Structure formats: C-alpha cells, structure tokens
Chains A and B, each alone.
Chain A
Amino acid sequence: MEERVHVLLVDDEPAITENLAPFLTRAGFKVSIASDGQQALDFLTQSRPDLIVMDVLMPRLDGRETLRRIRQEGDWIPIILLTQVGESTERAMALEEGADDYLNKPFDPQELTARIKAVLRRVRPGERPLVSATMIICTGLRFDRSARRVFVDDQEVTPTPRALHLLEYMITHPDELVSRERLLDVVWGWDYPVGTRAVDTRIAELRRLLKDDAADPRFIETVPGLGYRFIAPVEGEA
C-alpha cells in the first residue's frame, strides 16, 4: 500500500480540528493535530509530516511566528496558512513570509484538499520553494520581490498594485491552473459577482506589460472556462 501523505493540522479551535481531521482522513491523508504553534514546533522535532496546515491566530505562538521560526531553520516543509483577517496586507504577508499557499476562513473543506494537493504537486522535497525566493527569474522576466519591482528584458515596468499582486501569485505558483475566483480572492480577499471581469482586466494589463500574446502566450495562458496558468519555466533566487 502506498504511504499516505502526512498532514499536521494546527489550530487552537477544537471545533475546527475535530471536524477537519476526519474530513482530511477520509480524503486519504494521515492527520496529526497540534493546538498551537509551540506544540507544532515540538511535534516537528519528533516527527516529519509532509505538509502543515496552520491557523494564523493562535495563543502562545501564532501561525506567523511559527512559520518564521520554521523557515529560519532552513526548513522548507510545505505550509498552508489559514488566514482570517480579511485585510490584503495579511494575505500579501503570508506569501512573503514563505507560506506555500493560504486560504481565507471560512473555506470549503474541498478547497483545502485541492490546495494541499496543488502544493504537494509543486513542491520538490527539501528544495527552497519559490514563495520563499526574493528574486524570481524566467526568460525575459525578473521579479524582485523584496523591492517589488518587475523587469521585462531588463527594462523596468510598473504594474498597478493589484496587477503586481496577481503576477506575484501566478509566478510563485507556476504550472498551476488558477481559477478567476481564486485570483479574485488573492487580490481582493473576497469575491463579488462582477469581480471576475476585474481579474481579466488585470491579466490584460499584465500581458500588455510583459509583451505577452494571449493567442500564443509566453507567460500567462488562458484556460478557457477555467482560469489562467503561468506557463514559463521559473527559477527562484534567495
């Protein structure tokens, strides 16, 4: 029998762990539970899960600090943060601090399993993930994440803040089909009925800046009826 993927679920709210753990188990994962950041760190000293799903707001040691400590030790174990402050800064920070992905509470549990699978597909064990890279490079495109600057063929371009945010998410999640709803959630933190059009507008802006042709894309591919995918090969630098 194939080894089941081991997920460490960290949340201080028993109602959440009690309901999510059986769900994840049924979805085929092996689940362990920690009720705060400190417990999660303790757990990591004895055991090696494949992925961590962690709440941000927790007593003792919160999710953000725990994430920082894990990354400081050079540990690139995949981490999905469960954010709950709707503010865009919180979401931007989740990625900057090296979470592999994040989900806003409340979420559909199916969405969580989809995120877990997407992250595991992307991550190569032991390797520094793109989300922790400060400089991301692919042919003809350079994204300096700490300075928040983008260069196309060594010429700097200046996308609007929302387009920049969109590009950051797409380029750190290459080869992944991202739905318009997900992108809307990334840029806005909430979705609204005409919002998917707003996503299309930003994608069009990015394509213009990146000199990308929608019909024959180098960077961003449209997947009809489903969303977008960043297709160029990407490399990260510390």
Chain B
Amino acid sequence: MNWRRFLFLLPLFAGILASAWLNIFAGSNPILYVRLDLGTLLLLTGGFLSILVGAGQGFFLWVDQREERLLDDTARERRRFLSRLDHELKNPITAVLAGLANLRNAAHAASDDKTLISVEDQVQRIRRLIADLRKLSDLETRPLELDTVDIAGLLEDVYQSVLNKPETEHVELKLLIPHAPWPLPTVRGDEDLLSLAVFNLLENALKFCEPGDAIELRAFEDQNSVTIEVADTGPGIAEDEIPYVWDELYRARAVRGIPGSGLGLALVRAVVQRHSGSVSVRSREGSGTVFLIRLPV
C-alpha cells in the first residue's frame, strides 16, 4: 500500500490526535479565547500545515533512501563477487590457452583432433564469459564520456552492423524511426555504451528468433524521455521468469540450449542505469517479447 497518497490527510489526522489528547488528558474540552488578526491566524495555520506535510515528506524520503541503500549494498556485494570471480579465472584460463597452443603445436596432434577442437571451443566460451564479467564490473566504475548522442543515427548504425550478420537472413528485421512532426531528440550520454546496450538487445532477439520471425527496432519520444524498443515475434518469456531476465547469469529455462553468457541483458541494464534511464520488458509466451530502454532527454 502506498501511504504517500494519503499525505494530504496528515493535517486532519494531526487535528484528530490533538483533539483526542485534549479530551483524554485535559479533562473536558477547555474553551480558549484567542484574540488574533484573521490574517495572522491564517498565516499561522498555513505555516503549521506546511510543517506537518513537510515532516511527512521527509519521512518518506528517509524510507526511500534507506531502501535504496540496502539495494545498493546488495548490488555492490554481487558485483564485487563477480569481479573477484573474474579475477580468479584469468590466470587458469591464460595457462589453459597456452597449454592448448602447445598441444596444437606438438607434432603428434592432428589438426582435426575432435577432442582438441572441442576443448578449444569450450575454453573460448569461458573466455567470453570472463570478458563479459569484466565489462560488467568495469561499467560500474568507469567514468562516462558524456556527449550529445543522436539516437536516430545510433540506431541506424547498430541496425546496419547487425544486418551483415548471417543470422538476419531468415528473419524480417525492421528499423522504425519517427521523423514527423519532428525528429527524435538527442540525449546526453556515452555513445559507445549506448550502442553496446542496443546491440545486445538486438543480438538477444536474433538469438532466440526462428526463421520467419519478425524483429523491430524502433524508438519514440514522449515528454521528457526517449524510448527504444526491440520487439520480436520469438518464443516469448514465461511470466514467472520475467522479473529475473535482467539478472547476472540468469538463463531462461526455454533457452538454456542456446549458447550465451547470461550477461547480455545485465550489461544493458547496467549501461542504462548509469544514464539514469530505466529498462523494462513485456512478453507473452508463444507470441513474442518487447524490451524497452527509456532514457531521459
């Protein structure tokens, strides 16, 4: 229940309390005669009400901040853990990469040795995971390079770069950018990071779509934000899994067979949050999914 909505009742509630106190502790209701200008009386009453409402707002602010701090602590703790994990994995993987290269070089190894190829593939997979972990912890601390970002141009660039991929051949991929009555506004942001976020969403959609599916990359503005959407007619996400899709290393049940690090969406969220924006997702199982990025203008 959102108590904030009842803030306007606070003065009335304070009045009731005060009157109850008089009745209970001061015996019968005493009558008080006050001689005061009407103007002064109104001013005093107004001031008193302001103080009451202000106190109420202050309380809610305090509650908010405490919640935020708790959330921040958990997020920080998790990031710290991930970065330590990343750190611990680097040396062994470096050694394994060198060891594999030695095996490759050894005279007795055939170049099509299935075991060797398979191990190499798996090592590369772990390596990508480590790289993504590092990106994630890096994103938390790296200073943003803020500039004016032309969202329409950015989407066009990302769209073009995805268009070259073989996966897009059997999917209907569209870019929809409004031009009328005026073009999309620009945002203050780090262009490199924002294109990474949009790219990840598109790549994600491509990964789960099947031949014949449609993907739309689109954007629109409302009063004080730009919304970027990546919509697809893919398999959709089960309702109980929707709250977790942005979490690090979360893989939805239906897509565990599809390779991926489970960090793509977490990266998107980290980027958007550092731009004071928000992410959300709407999905229906069997129909498709829309991922949204909202950025303040």
Contacts and interface: CB of A to CB of B under 8 A. Distances in A.
A68 interface: no
Given A15-B91, A190-B131, A190-B134, A26 B196 contact: no
A192 B95 contact: no
Contact of A23 (B92, B101, B141, B192): B101
Contact of B95 (A19, A26, A85, A190): A19
B113 interface: no
B158 interface: yes
Interface string A5-19: 000000001011011
B157 interface: yes
Contact of A195 (B138, B192, B203): B192
A19 B145 contact: no
A92 interface: no
Nearest to A162: B145
Contacts of A161: 143, 145
A194 B134 contact: no
A126 to B, nearest CB: 31
A88 interface: yes
B188 interface: no
A216 interface: no
Nearest to B123: A106
A82 B93 CA distance: 14
Contacts of A190: 131, 134-135, 138
A217 interface: no
Contact of B157 (A15, A20, A191, A194): A194
B95 A197 contact: no
Nearest to B198: A194
Given A84-B87, A160-B145, A162-B145, A191 B131 contact: yes
Interface stretch (A107-115, A117-125, A133-141, A224-232): A107-115
Contact of A19 (B90, B98, B141, B161): B98
Instruction: Determine which residue in B86, B102, B157 has the highest number of CB atoms from chain A within 10 A of its CB, and name it.
Output: B102
B239 to A, nearest CB: 31
Contacts, number: 92
Interface in B62-117: 86-87, 90-99, 101-102, 105
Nearest to B127: A106
B195 A197 contact: yes
A85 B90 CA distance: 10
Nearest to B87: A84
B138 A13 contact: no
Contacts of A193: 161, 199, 203
B134 A189 contact: yes
B141 to A, nearest CB: 7
The size class of the interface chain A forms with chain B is 35 or more
A86 B137 CA distance: 9
A105 interface: yes
A198 interface: yes
A166 to B, nearest CB: 12
A86 B134 contact: yes
Instruction: Determine which residue in A19, A85, A201 has the highest number of CB atoms from chain B within 10 A of its CB, and name it.
Output: A19
A197 B161 contact: yes
A216 B142 CA distance: 36
B147 interface: yes
A68 B101 CA distance: 32
A194 B91 contact: no
A201 B145 contact: no
A110 B87 contact: no
Interface string A188-210: 11111111011001000000000
Interface of A: 13, 15-16, 18-20, 22-23, 26, 82, 84-88, 105-110, 160-162, 188-195, 197-198, 201
13 contacts: A15-B95, A19-B98, A23-B101, A82-B94, A105-B91, A105-B93, A106-B93, A106-B94, A109-B98, A189-B138, A190-B138, A193-B161, A197-B195
Given A16-B94, A108-B101, 17 more contacts: A13-B95, A15-B92, A19-B96, A19-B99, A20-B98, A26-B102, A86-B138, A106-B94, A106-B130, A107-B97, A110-B101, A161-B145, A190-B134, A193-B203, A194-B196, A198-B195, A201-B191
Task: In the A-B complex, list the 6 residue pairs whose CB atoms are closest, starting with the nearest.
Answer: A19-B98, A15-B95, A86-B134, A106-B93, A106-B94, A19-B99
